Amino acid sequence: MHHTQTNLIDIQNKIKEKITNLSYNNYNPKIIAVSKTFSEKDILPLLNYGHGEFGENKVQEALQKWGTLKENYKNVKLHMLGKLQTNKVKHAVEIFDYIHSLDNLKLAKKLAKEIREKNKKIKLFIQINLGDEKQKSGIEPSQLESFYQNCSALNLDIVGTMCIPPVDQDTKLYFKSLYQLNQKFNFQEISMGMTNDYLDAVEYKSTFLRVGTGIFGKRSN
């Protein structure tokens, strides 16, 4: 077996064990294999294994890598995880099924326009800035209600919230906050948890775990 396949199976088993220990019922989180910087050669074994959720950070890279792959593997859902500039929205809408980084109204308006014109069905996560970090993207929790209303008025399909907690801190506290925020808004999906903390994210019922290094290995750039 290819190392990406054994890594994925190992992660799936750890998640199953964690869910059993927590006695959660009807909870089945999805694993997004974050393939940014990795080539088709590393992605193909997972595709052939039947994995269907993949994540990328850059529109250009996604278009180059996934244009043909998505035609050959029709069940694949591609997730945009990185910061999305409005001038890239047109192409993003062509290749991605989910966008996790919706964080401002200008972007929301541009997405609404392109999704309508291209007649696409794209599911969106609102990125939340839980750490009150000035340099980080995301909507402040106190602004979520009005931002969500604006997005709904634009007919955007908001499925949940997403966060990237500050590094070197107890991420569990952030996962708990996002879980509570999600409950308040009755969103179906939560996007949180990466290689180092996906089991903590499981504890707070994340529905999309974004795992890169743990599946593909260390990134060289």
Ligand X SMILES: *Cc1c(COP(=O)(O)O)cnc(C)c1O
Question: Of 128, 156, 194, 201, which one interacts with ligand X (CB under 6 A)?
Answer: 194
Shortest Cβ contact with ligand X: which residue?
A: 212
- Partners of 102 in beta bridges: 126
CA distances from 69 to 46, 209, 221 (A): 12, 22, 23
* 177/195 with CB nearer ligand X: 195
Considering only 61, 131, 195, 199, the residue that binds ligand X (CB under 6 A) is: 195
164 lies in the binding site for ligand X (CB under 6 A): yes
State the nearest-atom distance from the C-beta of 76 to ligand X, in Å. 18
Tell me whether residue 38 or residue 179 sits nearer to ligand X (CB atom): 38
- Judged by CB, which is closer to ligand X: 81, or 115? 81
CB 125 within 8 Å of CB 98: yes
By CB under 6 A, what part of segment 10-39 binds ligand X? 34, 36
Find the shortest distance in angstroms from Cβ 171 to ligand X. Answer: 12
Question: Would you say 35 and 42 are in contact if contact means Cβ atoms under 8 Å apart?
Answer: yes
Interatomic CA distance for residues 79 and 207, integer angstroms: 13
The minimum distance between CB 155 and ligand X, in angstroms, equals 26
Least Å distance between CB 192 and ligand X?
A: 9
Should residue 79 be labelled a site residue for ligand X when binding is judged by CB under 6 A? Answer: no
Please report how close the Cβ of residue 67 comes to ligand X at its closest, in angstroms.
21
Query: Binding pattern to ligand X, positions 34-73, x when CB under 6 A?
Result: x-x--------------------x----------------
Smallest Cα–Cα separation from 185: which of 153, 160, 155, 150? 160
Residue numbers at the binding site for ligand X (CB under 6 A)? 34, 36, 57, 81-82, 164, 194-195, 210-214
